[in-house]
Structure 1
Amino acid sequence: MLAVLIILVASIVAYANGANANFKGVASLFGSGTTSYRTALNWGNLTTAAGAVSAIFLAGHLLKAFSGKGLVEDSLISDPSFLLAVAIGAAATGSLATCLGFPVSSTHAHTGGLVGAGMVASPGGVNLVHLWSTFAMPLIFGPVVAILLGTLFYLLLRRLNLAPDHRTRTLDALHFLSAGAVGFARGMNDTPKIAALLVGVSFWTGEKGILLVAVAMTFGGLISARRVAETLSHKITDMNPGQGFTANLTTSLLVIAGSVYGLPLSTTHVSVGSLLGIGIITQQARWRTVIPILMAWVITVPCAAVLAALAYAVCRTAF
């Protein structure tokens, strides 16, 4: 019974993740008027699915990190009640954010779930040093680096005439490729994090778990992405094709590097950070939207932690 619940809730986490994040790479295509919503959506889901499958071969470090090993006691990693509680915390947080149209980090939600459930299961067993070095530090500094790189890349590419304000055939091709690279990087980065929830369900451990997550993530992106898509495409900053291309290039480079080296960067934070960096330099940033998004980021971890803690208390009693 517990195994079935874990699979179900992990699938909901993946669905919510796809709904909230699959459009992040292609938001600039839609926002800059380069292509339609439907074309951007299909391209984003296709490239995300490809990245998700590649995680089988390229992102083993993240699967290990998000199993909770080193962060919580080893005995909890295969505890079905613990895994179910983490999944519930991440699923509820991600689903709520998607309904409200906020692009939040599934990485933050998952981390919060691990910490919240871990503190209830073993109050002194959460390794805070490991939490800072492996999870918190990359998540905090990721968007800062993205803002700086987005700004620098835009200034450099403008000087080299590779980021013009208007569409050209070459820029359109580069823009589509960079958007696809972000989708690929996001799939590779996020899929193993969610698949780690299935580590205690023997049949779905490893490759099969990653494939299950990839399917659920794709359905989420196809069916429920519209609200977050509007926020990313039109409410953070005005953007032209050159700016969109620059934001995607920044995001894909950072997230792919993070995936390969096992750094749990948030694609959401990096993507929004790169867009914001360009918005700041062009003085087009829409702070009325950006500030609520930043506030949503701040509460993601404690929200997921509280929900996972409550879920673990219930699961421990019920099962």
Structure 2
Amino acid sequence: MIFVLLFIAAGFLAYSNGANDNFKGVATLFGSGTTNYKKAINWATITTFSGSVAAIFLASTLVKNFSGKGLVPDTLIQSPEFAISIALGAALTVFMATKIGMPISTTHSLVGALFGSGVVAVGSAFNFAKLGNTFLMPLIVSPLMAAIVSLIVYIIFKRLRIAMGVTKETSAYIGEEKVMIAKPLHTESYDAAVETKQKTLLISKEQEFANRYEGNFVGINAQKVLDTAHYLSAGVVSFARGLNDTPKIVGLLIVINSLDIKWGMIAVAIAMAVGGLLNAKKVGEMMSKKITPMNSGQGFTANLVTGILVTTASVHGLPVSTTHVSVGSIFGIGTVTKKANIKVVSNILLSWLLTLPIAALYSATVYWLLLTFK
């Protein structure tokens, strides 16, 4: 029964992770108007699931890290109560943040949950040094690095675009609007007015103007090349997220000796996909629309930087947060364009600061209850 509860807890964590994280890889596609929400989340689901499957072969180091190995005694790692408390502590934290539309890190939540249960279980025997070196440093450094790299890369790309003669044009949608006008006096009809059509400049409150790139790149329209690259970069970010996050959750299931890790990863991948499809919109809108306005070129740059950093971290076993890297990259673009919403970014940073202690508190409470009523 306790192993069934552990599997359910891990599934809940995977669902919450998908709801909070799945859209982050495609946020710039939606935010820049390159595609709509439905197409963006479908693309995120496909590529994230692919990354989860690839994690079976490429991310075994992360599975070991997030099992708690090295942080607490090995005997504790084999305790299902310990794993359940970590899964539920992190899941409750991520689920709560998702409900209010705040993009937080599942990685950060797991670290907090590991800390909370670990301290309750072993006290001073907890390996605080490894917690700082292996977990906290990558989480702190990664968003700052992402912001700086995206800022530099965007400036380089902008200069290359200008050098190649590709110009950025701003346009607004012009359409037809039906209006009622007074009917001429000489008409024999009793109707008071007639319907006519006139050309009207339609400006949306959500996105007043659209930026398009005019010119050719190796004989192909520059905007088409950019849109294709943007889709591919969003796929890379989502793939990297699946590659990086799936092993962290599966690491909690290694105490179920009868469960093949491959099947555990597939189960987690499915739960993440469902969570993203059903419950990702609030966080998606926060990431896409509220940090900074962007065009397709800026979105592509942010995604490219995020994808490279997260994939590199996954291969080397560093538990960086896709959320932190993605927000850092988007903020870096907003810094260059001077359009970043500082209030929104400040609220996101505050939620990041609260993630670890809240997850630790939830996890410690669950662990204490499980031991008390065992």
Q: Secondary structure at the match of 2:25?
A: coil
Which digits, 9 at most, give the CA deviation of each residue in 1:178-213, with x for residues without a partner?
000000000000000011111111233411111110
Q: Distance in 2 between the 1:203 and 1:212 partners?
A: 15
Q: Is residue 259 of structure 2 the alignment partner of residue 204 of structure 1?
A: yes
**Matched residue, 1:166:** 212
Q: Is residue 122 of structure 2 the alignment partner of residue 122 of structure 1?
A: yes
**Matched residue, 1:242:** 297
| Higher helix proportion (structure 1 or 2) | 1
Q: Equivalent residues in 2 for 1:7-18 (5 A)? A: 7-18=7-18
Which digits, 9 at most, give the CA deviation of each residue in 1:246-290, with x for residues without a partner?
000000000000000000000000000000011011101011211
Q: Equivalent residues in 2 for 1:17-56 (5 A)? A: 17-56=17-56
* Deviation of the 1:166 alpha carbon: 2.1
Which digits, 9 at most, give the CA deviation of each residue in 1:114-145, with x for residues without a partner?
11000000101210110111001000000010
Unaligned runs of 5+ in 1: none
* RMSD, aligned CA: 1.1
**Matched residue, 1:77:** 77
Q: Secondary structure at the match of 2:84?
A: helix
Q: Equivalent residues in 2 for 1:102-251 (5 A)? A: 102-161=102-161, 165-166=211-212, 168-251=223-306
Q: Distance in 1 between the 2:352 and 2:20 partners?
A: 13
Q: Is residue 364 of structure 2 the alignment partner of residue 309 of structure 1?
A: yes
Q: Distance in 2 between the 1:205 and 1:91 partners?
A: 23
Q: Distance in 2 between the 1:181 and 1:203 partners?
A: 33
Q: Judge conservation of contact 1:166–1:242 (CA < 8 Å) in 2.
A: no
Q: Distance in 2 between the 1:66 and 1:285 partners?
A: 34
Amino acid at match of 2:361: V
Q: Secondary structure at the match of 1:202?
A: coil
Q: Is residue 104 of structure 2 the alignment partner of residue 58 of structure 1?
A: no
Which digits, 9 at most, give the CA deviation of each residue in 1:17-67, with x for residues without a partner?
000001011000000000010000000010000000000000111001001
**Matched residue, 2:309:** 254
Q: Equivalent pairs: percent with the same residue? A: 50
**Matched residue, 1:288:** 343
Which digits, 9 at most, give the CA deviation of each residue in 1:128-170, with x for residues without a partner?
1101110010000000100100101100111111996525100
TM-score, normalized by length of structure 2?
A: 0.84
Amino acid at match of 2:78: S
Which digits, 9 at most, give the CA deviation of each residue in 1:95-118, with x for residues without a partner?
000001000000000011111000
Amino acid at match of 2:124: G
TM-score, normalized by length of structure 1?
A: 0.98
Unaligned runs of 5+ in 2: 169-210, 214-222
**Matched residue, 1:266:** 321
Q: Judge conservation of contact 1:198–1:205 (CA < 8 Å) in 2.
A: no
Q: Distance in 2 between the 1:73 and 1:119 partners?
A: 12
1:279 aligned to which of 334, 337, 359: 334
Q: Distance in 2 between the 1:72 and 1:284 partners?
A: 45
Over 3 Å counting, the alpha-carbon distance change for 1:129 and 1:205 in structure 2 is: farther
Amino acid at match of 1:29: L
Q: Distance in 2 between the 1:199 and 1:10 partners?
A: 11
Q: After the TM superposition, which segments of 4 or more aligned residues of structure 1 sit over 6 Å from their partners?
A: none
Amino acid at match of 2:141: F
**Matched residue, 1:96:** 96
Amino acid at match of 2:52: A
**Matched residue, 2:179:** none
